[in-house]
């Protein structure tokens, strides 16, 4: 796994029950200084924390940063920087504490609210601070030089060192992209190439499944490059200047590919097969099938990067992949046309009818999946 760090204390046994935890943390620079949360005795931590309920990774990041700093993350700017895995004995019970922390580079908007600390955090005099990365490292180093520091102090110290190394060496994704793509011609070249790469991977997977299992999960594939006008409109929405640098950094769907499947279980199979390919890095997943939008919209979205090998460099290029069933695609196409016709101000009665249709589509997908499973079962019993 790229950009991965394991912190293994070794103070546990393999027969222990395992406590699993996933957390998301933000790396946010404002005017060259790092936004952190600091305790009264000088402990430094990146804003972030554990996932709750059915939250997505991005939803967790946005909520935790807002609670701890009062600043709101702009979801469109989020990109994965590092994954840190921790394994140690739990303090509270005989168990293995296993935590995966994803560290994201991100920006915040201009709004500021009061942080919402827990009673325990208030007792520690937790507060928001802005400081140079070097100062944050020195404070963390001082803490872990003592005898009573906590494992998370060491994790934060190691993370801060990685952030500084990334900035010094230009490893952060934003800097990498900005240095590599400088003109609109390069933009169209690398994003068109990325679509060709993903499309070829999908066709190969589909051919393999047909050859081995006599089954094609993919009905068809659509792809497109966002027009310059649409990109500029999106940048204006984000309050950003229309530059090549900002296009690559802030617009995640310049290259988009839509995969249409027969059944809902095919969606997750295809997503897993793509995720397992070693050179495809998954930046973000939004599962609108398990968590539909209020409008009724359902689809599975993946934001990935794939390396494009040019004559003199490698460009890791973002592609947004949407995977949905035929029925979901039909509904989404109709919704898009209606929203376009009414310029986003769809009458309430039509909105309600769209939601009702979305529910019908969902029931249709469920019934067709069950029917297919029954047919497959009968087929296997006869063989």
**Active centre residues (catalytic):** 320
Which residue from 67, 77, 88 is spatially nearest to 7, judged by alpha carbons? 88
Length of the chain: 383
Q: Is 285 left (phi over 0), alpha (psi -120 to 50) or beta?
A: beta
Please answer whether residues 139 and 126 qualify as being in contact, where contact means their C-beta atoms are separated by less than 8 angstroms: no
* Residue 20 host element (H or E): strand 18-27
Contact 215, 375 (CB under 8 A): no
Rounded-to-integer distance, Cα 312 and Cα 319, Å: 22
What CA–CA distance (Å, rounded) separates 316 from 172? 12
Query: Quick one: which H or E segment has residue 311?
Result: none
3-state secondary structure of 383: coil
CA–CA–CA angle 195, 304, 311 (5° rounding): 55
Strand order in the sheet with 281-287: 218-225, 255-261, 314-325, 300-309, 281-287
């Amino acid at each position: 796994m790229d950009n991965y760090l394991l912190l293994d204390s070794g103070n546990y046994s393999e027969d222990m029950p395992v406590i699993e935890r996933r957390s998301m943390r933000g790396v946010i620079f404002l005017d060259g200084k790092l936004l952190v949360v600091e305790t009264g005795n000088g402990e430094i931590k990146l804003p972030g924390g554990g996932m709750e309920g059915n939250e997505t990774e991005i939803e967790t990041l946005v909520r935790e940063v807002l609670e701890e700093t009062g600043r709101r993350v702009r979801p469109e700017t989020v990109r994965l920087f590092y994954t840190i895995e921790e394994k140690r004995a739990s303090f509270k019970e005989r168990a293995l504490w296993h935590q995966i922390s994803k560290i994201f580079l991100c920006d915040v908007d201009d709004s500021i609210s009061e942080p919402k600390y827990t009673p325990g955090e208030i007792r520690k005099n937790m507060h928001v601070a802005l400081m140079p990365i070097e100062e944050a490292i020195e404070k963390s180093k001082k803490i872990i030089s003592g005898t009573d520091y906590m494992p998370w102090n060491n994790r934060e110290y190691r993370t801060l060192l990685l952030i500084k190394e990334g900035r010094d060496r230009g490893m952060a994704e934003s800097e990498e992209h900005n240095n590599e793509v400088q003109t609109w011609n390069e933009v169209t070249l690398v994003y068109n190439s990325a679509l060709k790469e993903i499309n070829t991977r999908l066709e190969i997977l589909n051919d393999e499944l047909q050859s081995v299992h006599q089954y094609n999960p993919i009905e068809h594939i659509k792809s497109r490059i966002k027009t310059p006008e649409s990109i500029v409109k999106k940048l204006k929405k984000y309050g950003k200047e229309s530059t090549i640098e900002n296009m690559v950094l802030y617009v995640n769907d310049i290259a988009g590919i839509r995969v249409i499947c027969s059944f809902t279980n095919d969606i997750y199979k295809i997503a897993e097969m793509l995720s397992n390919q070693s050179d495809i890095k998954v930046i973000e997943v939004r599962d609108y099938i398990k968590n539909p939008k209020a409008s009724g919209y359902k689809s599975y979205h993946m934001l990935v990067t794939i390396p494009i090998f040019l004559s003199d460099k490698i460009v890791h290029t973002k592609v947004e992949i949407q995977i949905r069933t035929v029925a979901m695609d039909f509904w989404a196409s109709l919704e898009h046309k209606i929203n376009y016709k009414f310029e986003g101000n769809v009458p309430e009665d039509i909105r309600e009818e769209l939601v009702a249709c979305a529910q019908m589509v969902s029931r249709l997908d469920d019934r067709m999946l069950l029917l297919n499973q029954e047919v497959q079962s009968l087929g296997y019993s006869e063989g």
